Amino acid sequence: MIDPQASPLPAGTDPAVTLGTIGTTVPGVDAADVVAYALRLGDDSLILGQRLSEWCAKSPEMELDIALMNLSLDLFGRARTLLSHAAALENEGRDEDSIAFLRDIGDFRNVLLVEQPNGDFAETIVRQVLFDCFDLPFQEALAASADETLAAVAAKAVKESAYHLRFSANWLIRLGDGTEESHRRAQAALDALAPYAHELFETDALEDRLIKAGVAVDRAALRPRFDERLAAILKEATLTLPGTEWRPTGGRRGEHSEALGFLLAEMQWMQRAYPDSEW
pLDDT in tens, 55-64: 999 988 888 9
Is 250 a member of any domain? no
Per-residue pLDDT, 151? 97
Is 276 a member of any domain? no
Read off the pTM. Answer: 0.92
Stronger pLDDT, 34 or 63, i.e. the higher one: 34
Is 126 a member of any domain? yes
Is 36 a member of any domain? yes
Instruction: Give residue-wise pLDDT tens across range 83-103.
Output: 999 999 999 999 999 999 999
Per-residue pLDDT, 204? 97
Q: Are the C-beta atoms of residues 118 and 59 closer than 8 Å to each other? A: no
Average pLDDT over residues 225-229: 98
Residue 16: pLDDT above 70? no
Work out the mean pLDDT of the chain and round it to a whole number: 93
DSSP characters over the chain: ---TT--SSPTT--HHHHGGGTTPPPTTS-HHHHHHHHHHHHHHHHHHHHHHHTTTTTSSSHHHHHHHHHHHHHHHHHHHHHHHHHHHHHTSS--HHHHHHS--GGG----HHHHS---SHHHHHHHHHHHHHHHHHHHHHHTT-SSHHHHHHHHHHHHHHHHHHHHHHHHHHHHHTS-HHHHHHHHHHHHHHGGGGGGGG---HHHHHHHHTTSS--GGGGHHHHHHHHHHHHHHHT------------GGGT---HHHHHHHHHHTHHHHHSTT---
> Could you report how far apart the first and last alpha carbons of the chain are, in Å?
43
Is 199 a member of any domain? yes
Is 8 a member of any domain? no
| pLDDT band, residue 5 (cuts 50/70/90) | very low
Measured distance CA(42)–CA(69) in Å, rounded: 18
Query: How many domains, in total, are found in the chain?
Result: 1
Share of the chain above pLDDT 70, in %: 92
Is 59 a member of any domain? yes
Residue 106: pLDDT above 60? yes
Is 12 a member of any domain? no
Counting beta carbons within 10 angstroms of the beta carbon of residue 203, is it exposed (0 to 12), middle (13 to 18) or buried (19 or more)? middle
| pLDDT band, residue 7 (cuts 50/70/90) | very low
Per-residue pLDDT, 11? 40
| pLDDT band, residue 17 (cuts 50/70/90) | very low
Q: Which of 7, 49, 2 is nearest to 219 (CA)?
A: 2
Share of the chain above pLDDT 90, in %: 86
| pLDDT band, residue 169 (cuts 50/70/90) | very high
Per-residue pLDDT, 127? 98
Average pLDDT over residues 151-174: 97
Residue 14: pLDDT above 80? no
CATH number at residue 95: 1.20.1260.10
Instruction: Give residue-wise pLDDT tens across range 110-120.
Output: 999 999 999 99
Per-residue pLDDT, 272? 92
Q: What residue numbers bound the domain in which 153 lies?
A: 30-241+256-269
| ∠ Cα 224 226 232 (to 5°) | 100
Measured distance CA(132)–CA(106) in Å, rounded: 25
